[in-house]
Amino acid sequence: MVETTADPVAQDEEETMTTIFSKIIAGEIQADIVYQDDQVTAFRDIEPQAPIHILIVTNKEIPTVNDIRIDDEQLVGHMFTVAQQIALREGIAEDGYRLLVNCNKNAGQEIFHMHMHFFAGRPLGPMLVRK
């Protein structure tokens, strides 16, 4: 029998990694926050893909859309009402904006913490290029 001194509780804590978004929400990493409440935090993307590119992030760590539960329905709906408020504040509600949520790697999700991209500030063209 091989003895191990590794503490299984400590190993579980190490495997539970906090995302960069959680660090922004907690104020550990600086960001240009445009909206924050007890459910979501919205901040400008550091590599914008449009003149206005804001990420609306759930304060609760939910890795992907596949991980949303019934209890999260109100939270997910709140993301859309926050997007509406941001559009009004940014003065682009009437011009239009795009909301995008990626789920997993093939869709382009890079950070596994539920978030919505808010794009605006120019005509955005088609969503996908047909191939």
Give me the tens of pLDDT residue by residue for the chain, a chain 131 residues long. 333 344 444 334 334 558 999 999 999 999 999 999 999 999 999 999 999 999 999 999 999 999 999 999 999 999 999 999 999 999 999 999 999 999 999 999 999 999 999 999 999 988 766 66
| Three-state DSSP state, 115 | strand
Distance CA 39, CA 60 (A): 7
117 noted as active-site residue: no
Distance from C-alpha of 12 to C-alpha of 102, rounded to nearest angstrom: 27
Catalytically annotated residue among 53, 78, 113, 115:
115
Nearest alpha-carbon partner for 54 in 108, 104, 116, 103: 116
Yes or no: say if 63 and 95 are a contact pair by the CB < 8 Å rule: no
Phi-psi region of 53 (alpha: psi -120 to 50; beta: other; left: phi over 0): beta
What the chain holds in terms of domains, given with CATH numbers, is 8-120 (3.30.428.10)
